[in-house]
Structure 1
Amino acid sequence: MTTSPSGPPPPSDGLLSAARRNLRELAQGLSHPSHPPAPLLAGSPRLWLRLLPYAVVLALAAVFVPVTIQVLTGDYGVPGGVAGALAVGQAAPLLMLAHRPLQAWWIVFAADVVGALVLLGQGPAPGTLWPWPPPAVIGCLFVLLAVGLRERRQTLIGVWLATGAAGLAFRPVAPERSDDSALLLFVLGGVVLVIGAVVRERSEARRMLAEQETISEAERAQRTLLEERTRIARELHDVVAHHMSVITVQADSAPYRIGGLSEEAQAEFASIAAAARESLSEMRRLLSVLRSDGSRGELAPQPGLDRVQQLVEATVRAGLPAELSLGSEVREAVERGAVPQTVDLSAYRIVQEALANVVRHAPGARTRVSVTARDGHLTVLVVNEPPSEPGSPLEVSGTGHGLVGMRERVRLTGGTLDTGPLPDGGFRVAARLPLPPSEPPPAPLTPEEP
């Protein structure tokens, strides 16, 4: 028993399979609309655009129904009742073009075929078109345009071929008659379908581009937020690492600084120092992940409120008239270390970013910077007047990265941020950062009674 070797199927089978697949796609496209029954311009924000398709289809139906009756009765000699029925079948479905153009084409197509059979029974009329009279040709072109604006390419190809095949099928029935209207509708119908498809695809491309721009903008904002959080995390690493280093040194030196410690206490201090060193190692590994490839850590100390005066002076030298009001209570709190490092750094960065925004968006605007500390909060206020030279900003529309960074820093410290334009055209940035409760002064020692 021998078996024939398996091989690729004959080319004819492949062609037949492709032909059957294409026919199934055409049939599927002709029988199933590709869009929900919604008006053509239903998503337009303007009312008159949403009402425009209804006005157009009403006008078309109002024009084509009487015109079709007049042409069928006057030029083709069709009885009035039959002409009225054909006119309703060929022109009334135009009312469906706003919602269901494919279903309207089926009705118009069937009515046109019935009309061609009726005209065939009437006998040839000199100077008339057959099988499609002029109103049927023009009305069908409107239907094809509506179909082209809503349906897929497979559906359009099926509609065009079906229309051409119907006109071609009437030729052998009455070869003595002129079939110019069949050829005319076939050619013009193809042109109209192509125009409708081009307009539809262009509209879909613009819609998809707008959606992609929206998605890209959202992704850009999210990326900006993550980058700003990473930057803040890198800066806070130095703050936390300093405290952990202090804990490590104090725990390691405790047995030498404090005499008479038990072995349990010395073991506890050793455990604290080991845990602090391990935490420092973990933080360094985390920082290596947060830091960009090829970047190196900053070696300069982190700035704080003690450098706000230098920041404002540098801004003034850059051409921005700025004034600083730094309360004496703030200076005292900074000198005695009552301001946490995270609050100290966040306040400096907020002032820095606010001044940078003024330079970019309102060059020459007089700016006031105020830092006060009262009621357990540090308040940072940056207010600028309208720019002295309107129409000459370095940046017309910003990315909002600075405000994102401010919000993240304020959120990190548990404070609040208020930003927004002023009625006179200026801008205001107000941050309120919490301060730890001040420790009460120690009670004075009283002399012991003898």
Structure 2
Amino acid sequence: MTSVEERPRALLAGASRRWVRLLPWGVAFVLSVALLPTTIQVLSVDYGLNHGIASGLAVAQAAPLLLAVVRPLHAWYVIFAADVAGALVLLTVDFEERLLWPFPPMEIVGYVGLCLALGLREPRRTLLLVWLVTAGAGVGLEFAVPNGTNGNSVLLTVLSGVTLVLAGALRERYEAQRRLAEQETISEAERERRTLLEERARIARELHDVVAHHMSVITVQADTAAYRLEGVPPNVQEEFTSIAATSRESLGEMRRLLGVLRNEEAHGELAPQPGLKRIGQLVEAMVRAGVPVEFTPCDTDVSETVGLTGYRIIQEALANVVRHAPGAPTQVSVSENGEQLSVLVVNGPPPEPPTAPLEKGGTGHGLVGMRERVRLAGGTLDTGPLPDGGFRVAAQLPLTGRNFT
């Protein structure tokens, strides 16, 4: 792909006030309009130059000042050549000794204005070269000064040098202030980022203190129930063992997630993530918890992203069944549909309306989390109640899902 040259910006285009942005154009326009007829008049009437030649020199010396607002160095090439050419042309005519040579006053005004534009745009190296060329041309023309004529090459050299230095200093001061403002902006962003990290660490600590403590207590109680209680039947002991295993797994996942929350450099959980192959274990745990689940597995090989997304959708959907429709018959199916993986969880109404909700003050974050995971994987999600009082969760995931953290 060919690179397109960036369009040059006008002088002071980055100023916040509109009148400042328009100021270079106004100055260039005034100089051009004022110097063009003045140069023609002075060169043709006072110096006695041919009117056509005087008009051509005037256009070349004054019109490029408008170009100097955008490309001052290009304008300098034209104006400098025109000024030197004008000085040489004046040697061919007889003019009064009182007149200045090689640069009439209007040419000096235009050249100083051009140097101001150069100083506001170009780097030090370019400004030094421009001044050296100007001084060299002035020295060379001094050897051709007509007898009795007042030479003003030194005046142009001094004025152009002072203008270049002052304009360059203004430009460098502006650049320094701009960089300082950018640095302050970056520092403010870093402070906000540090505040965010501190808040994330605080949330992680609170989650660990609240949730991990209770999960650990559940795990210990379930593991030691057979030793603390006498005459525990085998089926009850098996139930306690399942509770302890589920608690330990949940505690491990929560700690890995808290590690990600604490550490911004972590781009995901380091432990292997659950996928489609672990859905069977999830279903078995739900069956032991009293949820009659029928599961139709799928042996399709999918990416880690799609497998994890499918597992989390089924996990959250089954958790919602336990919370809102305990004991409801549920069908879970995973199947390949062309280039997509279909994940379907459908539950019927509960056999008995729950007397009280399992959880109070639900946030509704479960469905939001499902949609976010499906969106990141590049799929679609359809959820909603059924006419018989059940609920349906259906997701379509591309077999080549995108990775996400």
Give the TM-score category using the shorter length.
0.5 to 0.7
How many angstroms does 1:80 deviate by? 2.4
Q: For residue 91 of structure 2, what is the aligned residue in structure 1?
A: 120
Code of the aligned partner of 1:248: T
Q: Distance in 1 between matches of 2:226 and 2:90?
A: 116
Q: Which residue of 2 aligns with 1:259?
A: 231
Partner of 1:90: 61
For the residues of structure 2 that align with 1:103 and 1:169, how far apart are their CA atoms? 23
Describe the SS at the equivalent of 1:98: coil
Greater Cα shift, 256-265 or 71-80:
256-265
Please list, as runs of the form range in 1=range in 2, the aligned pairs for 1:205-224 lying within 5 A after superposition: 205-224=176-195
CA 153–92 in structure 1, closer or farther in 2 if over 3 Å, else same: same
| Structure 2 residue 110 is the aligned partner of structure 1 residue 139 | yes
Contact 2:145–2:151 (Cα < 8 Å) also in 1: no
Matched, 1:162 2:162: no
Q: Which residue of 1 aligns with 2:284?
A: none
Q: Which of 9, 12, 26 is matched with 1:41 structurally?
A: 12
Distance 1:139 1:80 in 2: 20
TM superposition shift of 1:143: 0.5
Counterpart in the other structure of 1:272: 244
Name the amino acid aligned to 2:50: P
Q: Tell me: CA distance 1:166–1:284, structure 2 relative to 1, closer, same or farther (3 Å).
A: closer
* Contact 1:65/1:91 (<8 A) preserved: yes
Alignment check: 8 A CA contact 1:255 1:266 kept: no
Paired residues for 1:26-425 under 5 Å:
36-123=7-94, 125-174=96-145, 176=147, 180-256=151-227, 257=229, 259-262=231-234, 265=237, 269=241, 272=244, 276=248, 279=251, 283=255, 290=262, 377=361
Q: Classify 1:270/1:90 alpha carbon distance in 2 versus 1 (closer, same or farther; 3 Å).
A: closer
How far is the alpha carbon of 1:145 from its aligned partner?
0.6
CA contact (8 A) 2:36 2:62 kept: yes
**C-alpha distance after superposition, 1:173-199 (max 9, x if no partner):** 347465742111111111100111111
Find the residue that maps to 1:78 and give its secondary structure.
Answer: coil
8 Å CA contact 1:244–1:280 kept in 2: the answer is: no
On the 8 A contact 2:79/2:111 being kept in 1, the answer is yes
Contact 1:255 1:261 in 2 (8 A): no
1:254/1:109 CA distance change after superposition, 3 Å: same
CA displacement 1:198-247 (0-9 Å, x = unmatched): 11111222222222222222222222111111111112211022212211
- Read off the aligned partner of 1:215 and give its amino acid letter: I
Between the two proteins, the alignment pairs up a number of residues equal to: 267
What's the CA shift for 1:130?
Answer: 1.6
Shift of 1:248: 2.6
The DSSP-based 3-state class of the residue aligned with 1:66 is helix
| Distance change in 2, residues 1:37/1:274 (3 Å) | closer
The 5-angstrom pairing of residues 429-444 of structure 1 reads: none
Structure 1 portions without partners, runs of 5+: 1-33, 292-374, 380-409, 415-450
Change (3 A) 1:280 1:90: closer
Query: How big is the shift at 1:270?
Result: 9.2
Amino acid at match of 2:79: V
Q: Secondary structure at the match of 1:122?
A: coil
Contact 1:248/1:277 (<8 A) preserved: no
- 1:266 offset after TM fit, Å? 6.1
Deviations 1:14-61, CA, capped at 9 Å, x for gaps: xxxxxxxxxxxxxxxxxxxx9843222333444433333222211111
Is the alpha carbon distance of 1:108 and 1:129 closer, same or farther for their aligned partners in structure 2, counting shifts above 3 Å? Answer: same
Query: What does residue 429 of structure 1 align with?
Result: none
Q: What CA distance in whole angstroms lies between the structure 1 residues aligned with 2:31 and 2:360?
A: 75
Question: In the TM superposition, what is the alpha-carbon distance from 1:99 to its structure 2 partner?
Answer: 1.6
Mapped contact 2:142–2:153 kept (Cα < 8 A): no
Q: 1:173 to 1:87 in 2, by over 3 A?
A: same
Match for 2:21: what amino acid?
A: R
Structure 1 residues 172 and 259: CA distance shift in structure 2, 3 A: same
Distance in 2 between residues matched to 1:281 and 1:106, nearest whole Å: 70
Cα separation, 2, equivalents of 1:250 and 1:89: 95
Per-residue deviation at 1:377?
4.2
Contact 2:64 2:78 in 1 (8 A): yes
SS at match of 2:101: coil
TM-score normalised by L of structure 1: 0.52
CA distance in 2, matches of 1:214, 1:101: 31
- Cα gap change, 1:224/1:178 in structure 2, threshold over 3 Å: closer, same or farther? farther
Please report how far the alpha carbon of residue 258 of structure 1 lies from its aligned counterpart in structure 2 after TM superposition. 5.5
In 1, Cα distance between equivalents of 2:361 and 2:169: 63
Distance (Å, rounded) in 2 between the aligned partners of 1:81 and 1:284? 85
Deviations 1:363-394 (A, max 9, x none): xxxxxxxxxxxx96499xxxxxxxxxxxxxxx
Provide closer, same or farther for how the CA distance between residues 378 and 283 of structure 1 changes in structure 2, counting only shifts above 3 A: closer
Deviation string 1:387-437 (CA, Å, 9 cap, x unpaired) is xxxxxxxxxxxxxxxxxxxxxxx999x9xxxxxxxxxxxxxxxxxxxxxxx
Q: Distance in 1 between matches of 2:148 and 2:61?
A: 22
